[in-house]
Structure 1
Amino acid sequence: MKLNIQNSLTDQLPADPSSINNPRQVEHACFSYVQPKQPSNPSLIHASEEVANLIGLSQDDILSNDFLNTFSGKTIIPGTKPYALVYAGHQFGNWAGQLGDGRAINLTEIFQDNKRYTLQLKGAGPTPYSRTADGFAVLRSSIREHLCAEAMHYLGVPTTRSLSLMLSGDEVLRDILYNGNPAYEKGAIVCRVAPSFIRFGSFELFAARNDLKNLQLLTDYTIKLHFPEIESEGILKYLDFFQAIMQSTLEMIVHWQRIGFVHGVMNTDNMSIHGITIDYGPYGWLEDYNPNWTPNTTDRQHKRYRFGNQPEIALWNLYQLANALYPLINDAKPLENILNTFSVDYQSAYLNMMRNKLGLALPKEEEDSVVIESLTEILQVVETDMTLFFRNLSTVLKVDSPKIALDKIAVAFYNEKDLNESDLNKWYIWFEQYSNRINLETQTDSERAQQMNAINPKYVLRNYMAQLSIDAADKGDYTLINEFFELLKKPYDEQPDYEKWFAKRPDWARDKVGCSMLSCSS
């Protein structure tokens, strides 16, 4: 197994001089060297051949002992020194101070086909940033991360990738419901792959400590290595850097809203400077269209990270990043000017995205806004499955009456009997509006359906599906993991053999642990 290794981060940024692997404050450093904990009996559950190819590995490599030992943390890649990053962050809107890679260990960087990748093990043991935790991960959360990272990629959403999912052979104690009843679960390790794992909180840490030397060092390094398109100098360079992060973050959020994805923990330490989705914890997809839904039990009361609030939270987080970069610029006005464009740009991007979901190719500003706003309101009248609704909407024809159109999407209602006469009338009025609007289009019904089906997925990783694969895997059966991995590679295709997964959340999953809301415990 041969990898094209580079160690730019550890070569160019300051290291923690201490090798003590105990929870502690780390000053004037970007990372600490740390060794993964040797697993007792690692075994491979699943690996992505496509991600392996990205970093220069083959199917034969995946099946080798080198692969098993390297990506379980049992052996270290020659010429590398694993490390954990230090960063800070705002958690649920509150300053949390130093955080860092508490259960993630970066193995090395790979430079392959002119692209840079960082390989990171999640669940490979404690680091100086583990605080009161043990640094390990359990099988259930690792399955969710492995499947979701790859599912998001195939959905077209910017994301970390997942190379492999392994059992460690060890047991990990977890209190899944935080109710004082911990139990042992199977330990697992995921290898995550991304350009880097630098976060908003990486810059917040140095700014908060007034360590301007390392703030500038980290920023200059990040721009040089990961934003080579930025050729400006001085203050303008940092403003261009911030502008680029804001734009990629905005685009990521639009994708989340497009597919109904809810991250669940949009803390600043979980926000990537690359505008990619990272840290898959208590995430979920909207089942019924409910902008107030959050999958995170910790967020149940205030719903800060609810689906409908994700754009506002992204902007709030960007304000924190702007504050962190301010010392390099010493002028708030240009940062404010950039931030002030976010809401306008987001609304424009959101409107275009919703037009595409509805199959509206010819922009009609006033009519489109009315149709979209009316729809987002009526989708909340009774429980309506977001994925099923938008996918079936592509079957509506220009000549269909409102009643025929409603019949075509009725499968999306969790209980059609909940629709009273007033609700039905609201739907009929909306379909009348929609019919009038699509009849302004020059494209045929078939062309419109093709456009809609290219961005409205038929299959997403619903929480109950992930839980089914977890329940089976606990018994040593990985069939569903393999099935879902293959299914979610083509989320926009019909895939008749998998039609049973194009369905609403079953009633048994409504309140089941792992299927409705999840904790951060992993």
Structure 2
Amino acid sequence: MNLNLKHTFTKELPADSILENSRRQVKDACFSYTNPKQTKAPEVIHVSKEMASVLGVSENDLSNELFTKIVTGNEVLPNTKPYAMCYGGHQFGHWAGQLGDGRAINLFEVEHNNKQWAVQLKGSGETPYSRTADGLAVLRSSIREYLCSEAMFHLGVPTTRALSLALTGDEVLRDMLYDGNPAHEKGAIVSRVSPSFLRFGSYEIFAARQDHKTLKTLVDFTIKHHFSHLGAPSKEAYIQFFAEVSERTLQMIIHWQRVGFVHGVMNTDNMSILGLTIDYGPYGWLEGFDFGWTPNTTDNQHKRYRYGNQPNIGLWNLYQLANALYPLIEETEPIETILELYKTDFEAKSLQMMKSKLGLEASDDKDKTLIEALEDALLLTETDMTIFFRNLSNLKKRDGKKGLEIVKDAFYVPNEVSDKIAQHWKDWFERYDFRLEKEALSDTERQLKMNAVNPKYVLRNYMSQLAIDDANKGDYKLIDELFQLLKQPYEEQPNHEKWFAKRPDWARHKVGCSMLSCSS
């Protein structure tokens, strides 16, 4: 492979002085050199050709044995030194201290078409940050991450990307349900790609240790390589840096809310400094519209990371980042101004996002109450979010009486939509119909705009689970079918209509289809 390799992270940031791969607290360093674990029988089972092209990897390279060895950690490219990153984090609201790349190893950086990317393996073995874990990953979670990161990209949601999905040939012991019944599963590795894998926790760890020298080095590095438009490092640049991270974080979460995505583990070590969706663990898409839903069994009691709370958690996490950056800014007023702006921006951008989902462009003071009334209606009976908004675009002006008929396929229990609930819906459609009269767009124009923000196809958990079940039997066709389907989530794709459907009853409580653990 003829790649334009770069080494900015390892050349410009302090390295761990200890080269031994032992679990420990790593001080005064942003990373530790460590090599991936050799695997028994590596086999690449799917590749994103699009992502390969972005990196400058040719189609001929993809069929080369060297490619398989590199993306499974069995060979290291000449003149590269793999490394694991040091960071801390708040987990479920509590400071957890050093966390770091416990099962991720960065292979190298690549520059292609004036863009730079870091290539990383997830599930490639132990690092100094693995604590009591084995650093490995299983096929189940790897399929979910591989499919979802690429699906999110095509949905228009800021995200890290995926290059490849591979089997290791090794067996990995996991207690999937945390019930004391561990079992062996197929080991796997995902090759992940991002301009940077820096997280909020990358800065928190140095602030917590009062290592302000390394903190400043890392922030200056981040501005130089990822926010260069802010100019040379200075107090003002640090403030603007925080403002832009806040803005990007909010933008990402607004996109999550738009498509009904729930991350599941919004710990500060899972928050990208670039505002990218990162670390696909127990995520999920809303089936029934529900502000209180979380896909994470670990969060089932307190529901900290529930769908409706994601914007608030984004703000909470930004407060932690603000605390970490404070030693460089030493002034609270500009930081507080940025955090207050997040709140007001959320209100405005959330309203605008919901208006776009409803096909509303004209200004109307009553839009907020119209949207609130819709959300109330969606909660009256289990209503599929994706199907509801997609089918709503079929409604024509002055046709509000047909509204309930147009969205009926979104109801999980149609018999519940009678009398009082049906009347509630009829009242809302009457208001919506009246509101559409203020729009200049034709029905066709409005439908096109609505269908550009309301996806027809999302990666529902049961779809992933079907692909996982097949893959465990050695059949990878469904992985590719879903991969191709989700590259065009806003298109009709008549041949794939079967995936535009509510979650089947068998999947309601099936492991992997409703809620998931953090286990991988």
For 1:11, the equivalent position in structure 2 comes to 11
3-state DSSP of counterpart to 1:517: coil
1:517 aligned to 2:515? Answer: yes
CA contact (8 A) 2:224 2:232 kept: no
CA distance in 1, matches of 2:335, 2:438: 42
Distance 2:234 2:201 in 1: 22
Alignment partner of 2:229: what SS? Answer: coil
Equivalent positions of 1:364-379 (< 5 A) are: 364=364, 366-379=365-378
2:497 to 493, 496, 499: 499
| 1:21-40 alignment, distance < 5 Å | 21-40=21-40
Task: Give the distance between the partners of 1:31 and 1:234, measured in 2 at CA.
Answer: 25
Residue 241 of structure 1, CA deviation:
0.5
In 1, the alpha carbon distance for the partners of 2:273 and 2:202 equals 9
Structure 2 residue 271 is matched with structure 1 residue 306: no
Change over 3 Å in CA distance of 1:459–1:243 after alignment to 2: same
Does 2:406 correspond to 1:412? no
In 2, distance between residues paired with 1:63 and 1:332?
55
Does the alignment pair 1:399 with 2:372? Answer: no
In 2, Cα distance between the equivalents of 1:181 and 1:2? 46
Which aligned pairs between 1:39-438 and structure 2 lie closer than 5 A? 39-231=39-231, 233-364=233-364, 366-402=365-401, 404-438=402-436
- State whether structure 2 residue 478 is matched by structure 1 residue 461: no
The letter of the residue matching 2:382 is: E
Are 2:289 and 2:378, in contact at CA under 8 Å, matched by a contact in 1? yes
Once the two structures are overlaid, the 10-residue window that deviates more, 434-443 or 147-156, is 434-443
- For residue 420 of structure 1, report the CA deviation from its aligned partner: 3.2
- 1:140-199 CA-to-partner distances (Å, cap 9, x unmatched) read 000000000000000000000000000001010000000000000000000000001000
Deviations 1:41-94 (A, max 9, x none): 100110000100011012111111111011110000111100000100000000
- State the secondary structure of the residue aligned to 1:340: helix
Q: CA deviation at 1:275?
A: 0.2
* Counterpart residue identity of residue 400, structure 1: D
- C-alpha distance in 2 between matches for 1:386 and 1:328: 44
TM normalised by structure 1 equals 0.99
Q: What per-residue deviation string (whole Å, max 9, x for no partner) do you get for residues 371-415 of structure 1? A: 11111111010000000000000001112142x111000000001
Residue 440 of structure 1 aligns with which residue? 438
Matched position secondary structure for 2:230: coil
**CA distance in structure 2 between the aligned counterparts of 1:65 and 1:362, rounded to whole angstroms:** 57
**How far off is 1:342 after superposition?**
0.4
C-alpha displacement at 1:19, in angstroms? 1.4
SS in 2 for 1:184: strand
Please say which of residues 52-61 and 388-397 is displaced more in the overlay.
52-61
What CA distance in whole angstroms lies between the structure 1 residues aligned with 2:21 and 2:428? 61
The 8 Å contact of residues 400 and 432 in structure 2, kept in 1 or not, is answered as: no
Report how far residue 480 of structure 1 moved. 0.5
Measure the CA separation in 1 of the matches of 2:310 and 2:480.
Answer: 31
Give ranges in structure 1 of 5+ residues lacking alignment. Answer: none
Amino acid aligned to 1:217: T
Secondary structure of 1:397's match? coil
Paired AA for residue 412 in structure 1: A
Q: Distance in 2 between matches of 1:22 and 1:11?
A: 23
Deviation at 1:210, TM superposition (A): 0.3
- Separation in 1 of the partners of 2:358 and 2:75? 51
Deviation, 1:367, is: 1.9
- Distance in 2 (CA, whole Å) between partners of 1:374 and 1:316 is 28
| Partners of 2:132 and 2:447 in 1: CA distance | 52
